[in-house]
A and B are shown apart, each in its own frame.
Chain A
Amino acid sequence: MDTTEVTAVLARARQGDSEAFRTLVERHSRRAFQLAFRMTGNEQDAEDVVQESFIRAYRQLGRFEARAHFGTWLHRIVANCSVDLIRSRRARYDHASTDTLDAADQPEVDAPNPERLAASAQIQRTVAEAMSSLSPLERAAFTLRHYEGRSIAEIGKTLGLGTSATKHSVFRAVRKLRAALEPLRGES
């Protein structure tokens, strides 16, 4: 789809054309799921975030500026939906987020021996637990910085934070993760 077609589809979607919006959903769903999964660390929550994000996007399409990129705008909505969901399901995350990162899910690196695999799984479990202990904003800021490679300015814009608050969210997240992972450094 070229730029002209994208613009036309967006214009139709903004006028309430649901078929045009369907095109946008089909085009952006996988990327939205990827981000939602990284943000929430849970498959079912990521699915919920994707659905809620598209519904929110549809409702707010009238506010979308035509000159902006829909993917960027949607990225922001997905990130904020994820923060909302993490906030609302905080208690559940305390128990469940480690489920998604068992040893079998981890990518293999240089045909690891059982000890190394076990150590890697232990690290990833610890990371998952430590991520669960972060505040929703710390987790979101860290995910966008570390996994998504977004700049501090982009993260601030996405989450509606100032530069200083964004930096401090990342700093606090790194500090907490380091504290959780330091004991494992000798073992890995």
Chain B
Amino acid sequence: MTKHYSEEDLILYYYEDRPRTADFQSHLDSCEQCASAYRQLSATLRVIETPTEPERGEQYGLEVWQRIRHQLPEQELPWWSAWFRADRLAMAGAFAVLLLAAFVSGVWWSGGVTPARVDGVAAPSSPKASADDEARQRILLDTVADHLDRSERVLTDIMNAPAGGDISAEQRWAEDLVSASRLYRQDATDVGEHSVALVLDELERSLLEIVHSPSKATAANLDQLRRRIDAASLLFKVRVLGNELRERGQQHGQRPRALGTQTS
């Protein structure tokens, strides 16, 4: 009994996904049933012409770029690098400094331990603890300044987003920033940085509003978001505070300075 090829075999043969063996070809030459099936199949597939796409000129790439340049999201990092992100490293660094400071203070204040002596004289204060505090403060200031920079970018994107455009990338970004903002606000309150806490509080509200807006934001949605940002002069405050904290962070490395600088 002659074995005939299936439609699937013939399709693979037509597209050369099946090796064009001599056996197969000789079968088609000798078997009218398979040859006829193959002729019908190939006749049908041949009439399916590749659609002619509308012409796109030399400048098309530039046009695409102009359309997407303001929508570019933050790049995702490979999973392994998530642990090496600058903000996480900064947080880890700050945590390590805090631990060290806590340990040094514990040693200093515990009754059973004599303070270190230099040239036989009790040290009047701990320069190491003081340096640790300075380092901790500098790291925190830089971390919050970075946070404000990232927030500024999201707010700017929202201010420039087209009506009806997809803002889901900005929303994901804002969502990440909300939780960080909450932590920094708490820290700022704890160390008496009330003006910083106030800006972070306003920022958090706007970020939350962005997160909870529809991802295909209408003109009305965007207008509402922008009015809140404008009403609080939030972009301006975030920019000024970011610069100020960064400056203070740099100055901390050179000379001691009180934390209470006002920004509003």
- Whether a CB of chain A sits under 8 angstroms from the CB of B103 is no
Contact A59:B47 (CB < 8 A) given known A33-B53, A54-B68 = no
- Whether a CB of chain A sits under 8 angstroms from the CB of B15 is yes
Contacts of A55 in B (CB 8 A): 68, 71-73, 169
Assembly CA distance A16 to B153 (angstroms): 14
Chain B binding surface SS class: helix
Among B43, B48, B54, B74, contact of A59 (Cβ-Cβ < 8 Å): B74
Q: Are A29 and B60 neighbours in the complex by a CB distance under 8 Å?
A: yes
Q: Are B81 and A174 neighbours in the complex by a CB distance under 8 Å?
A: no
Among A33, A61, A167, A185, contact of B75 (Cβ-Cβ < 8 Å): A61
**Interface magnitude class on chain B:** 35 or more
Q: Are A26 and B56 neighbours in the complex by a CB distance under 8 Å?
A: no
- Whether a CB of chain A sits under 8 angstroms from the CB of B11 is yes
Q: Which residue of B lies closest to A179 (CB)?
A: B44
- Whether a CB of chain A sits under 8 angstroms from the CB of B95 is no
Q: Are B61 and A27 neighbours in the complex by a CB distance under 8 Å?
A: yes
Q: Are B61 and A28 neighbours in the complex by a CB distance under 8 Å?
A: yes
Q: Are A62 and B81 neighbours in the complex by a CB distance under 8 Å?
A: yes
Q: Are B45 and A174 neighbours in the complex by a CB distance under 8 Å?
A: yes
- Whether a CB of chain A sits under 8 angstroms from the CB of B29 is no
Contacts of B64 in A (CB 8 A): 25-26, 29, 50-51, 54
Contacts of A63 in B (CB 8 A): 76, 78
Among A43, A59, A167, A182, contact of B76 (Cβ-Cβ < 8 Å): A59
Among A18, A50, A107, A182, contact of B49 (Cβ-Cβ < 8 Å): A107
Contact A147:B68 (CB < 8 A) given known A62-B78, A171-B7 = no
Q: Which of A3-11, A34-42, A72-80, A132-140 contacts B (4 or more CB under 8 A)?
A: A34-42
- Whether a CB of chain A sits under 8 angstroms from the CB of B23 is no
- Whether a CB of chain A sits under 8 angstroms from the CB of B128 is no
- Whether a CB of chain A sits under 8 angstroms from the CB of B190 is no
Q: Which residue of A lies closest to B50 (CB)?
A: A147
- Whether a CB of chain A sits under 8 angstroms from the CB of B89 is no
Q: Are A37 and B169 neighbours in the complex by a CB distance under 8 Å?
A: no
- Whether a CB of chain A sits under 8 angstroms from the CB of B17 is yes
Give 3 nearest A-B pairs by CB, closest first. A26-B61, A29-B61, A37-B53
7 contacts between A and B (CB under 8 A): A25-B64, A27-B61, A59-B74, A62-B78, A170-B15, A181-B44, A181-B47
State the A residues within 8 Å of B (CB): 14, 16, 18, 21-22, 25-30, 33-34, 37-38, 41, 43, 46, 50-51, 54-55, 58-63, 100-101, 105-107, 123-124, 127, 145-147, 151-152, 167, 170-171, 174-175, 177-178, 181-182, 185, 188
A18-B69, A170-B15 given; name 7 further pairs at CB < 8 Å.
Answer: A29-B56, A38-B50, A59-B169, A62-B76, A127-B49, A151-B17, A177-B48
